[in-house]
Amino acid sequence: MAITRLRNKAQEGLLTGEKHAPAQEPFITTLLKWIFYAITLYWLCLLVPSFASVTEAVSTLWQPSMDAHCVSASGWRCRNARQHAERLLSRHPLIDGHVDVPVQARYRYGNKIDTIPFDQPVFANGSYPTLGHVDIPRLRAGKSGGFFWSAYVVCPNETTVGKNFEHAATDIAVRDTLEQLDVIKQMTDKYHHDFALVGSVDAARKAFKHGQMISFIGIEGAHSIGNSLFALRTYASLFSNTIPGP
């Protein structure tokens, strides 16, 4: 019996190390598997973020003040600095501390507001119709958030006021300063879609949100108060009923 079993095993290949080849799966099954693998790989490539997007995300976390367009090339910088600056200026008002528009109005246009082409576009040759460096088209192009209108007048001297310098000089300075404040009020009223006189932070934020340039007034030079605290208090209260504030 034992010899018979060994003979049977030898015939079956169990004693010689022979193995039966596994049964091959149908061709259609193999094809479907490869199609499934290809589709899975394709969707993985779409879902996994690209290297560029990962870099942008890291740069945003690394420099919160910069937007997602800032990447590391030769140091941290923006891909398009102009677009980045315009984006910042459209969100955060940049205030100019001194603009001499009222001075130009006084000494070049005689304070005649209607003769100032303050809102006229640039000429075809690239020059500007407004004398000086400031007008509405250039303020808008530069995305100005607002500025201080400078109420400046020339300090009187003995040559201009004569012998009675002490009193005449102070009177003239106060008068001229009041004229400049009136010019500022006229210009902001005429171009009220572009400018808003404000007297508080909340009013300034509201004006900027509505697309207006924030307008403050700065009186330049102590000679403008004419040695009078009364004049100083008058300046402070002059627009208190018309300027939004606390």
Q: Give tens-digit pLDDT for 90-138.
A: 999 999 999 999 999 999 999 999 999 999 988 877 788 888 889 999 9
The count of domains in the chain is 1
pLDDT: which is higher, 47 or 225: 225
pLDDT: which is higher, 124 or 192: 192
- Whether the per-residue pLDDT at 164 is higher than 70: the answer is no
Q: CB under 8 Å, gap of 24 or more: what pairs does 118-121 form?
A: 118/187, 118/191, 119/191, 119/194
Among 77-91, 158-172, 208-222, 227-241, the minimum mean pLDDT is found in 158-172
pTM above 0.75, yes or no: no
Please name the residue that has the structure tokens 């040759």.
125
Give the residue among 147, 165, 145 at the shortest CA–CA distance from 226.
165
Residue 246 is assigned to a structural domain of this protein: no
- Whether the per-residue pLDDT at 73 is higher than 50: the answer is no
C-alpha to C-alpha distance for 246 and 230, rounded to whole angstroms:
22
- Whether the per-residue pLDDT at 20 is higher than 90: the answer is no
Residue 174 is assigned to a structural domain of this protein: yes
Q: Which residue type sits at 150? A: S
In the chain, the N- to C-terminal Cα span, in Å, equals 115
Domain that holds residue 153: 93-238
CA atoms within 13 A on the CB side of 226: 21
Residue 217 is assigned to a structural domain of this protein: yes
Per-residue pLDDT, 167 = 65
pLDDT (average), residues 173-182 = 93
Cβ-contact 193, 140 below 8 angstroms: no
Residue 71 is assigned to a structural domain of this protein: no
Residue 143 is assigned to a structural domain of this protein: yes
SS3 state of residue 75: strand
Going by the DSSP 8-state scheme, the letter that residue 124 receives in this structure is T
Percent of the chain having pLDDT more than 90? Answer: 39
Question: Strand pairing of 70-73 and 75-78?
Answer: antiparallel
- Whether the per-residue pLDDT at 146 is higher than 70: the answer is yes
pLDDT: which is higher, 100 or 159: 100
Q: What is the DSSP string of 102-153?
A: HHHHHHHHTT-GGG--TTPPPPTTS--SSSSS--HHHHHHTT--EEEEEEE-
Look up the CATH number of the domain holding residue 155.
Answer: 3.20.20.140
Per-residue pLDDT, 37 = 81
Token pair in block for residue 61: 């976390």
Element (H, E) at 218: strand 213-220
Residue 77 is assigned to a structural domain of this protein: no
Per-residue pLDDT, 24 = 67
Residue 33 is assigned to a structural domain of this protein: no
C-alpha to C-alpha distance for 196 and 206, rounded to whole angstroms:
10
Residue 34 is assigned to a structural domain of this protein: no
Give the residue among 201, 96, 192 at the shortest CA–CA distance from 144.
96
Among 25-29, 49-53, 65-69, 87-91, the minimum mean pLDDT is found in 65-69
Per-residue pLDDT, 237 = 86
Q: How many helices (H) and strands (E) does the chain have?
A: 10, 6
Token pair in block for residue 240: 């208190």
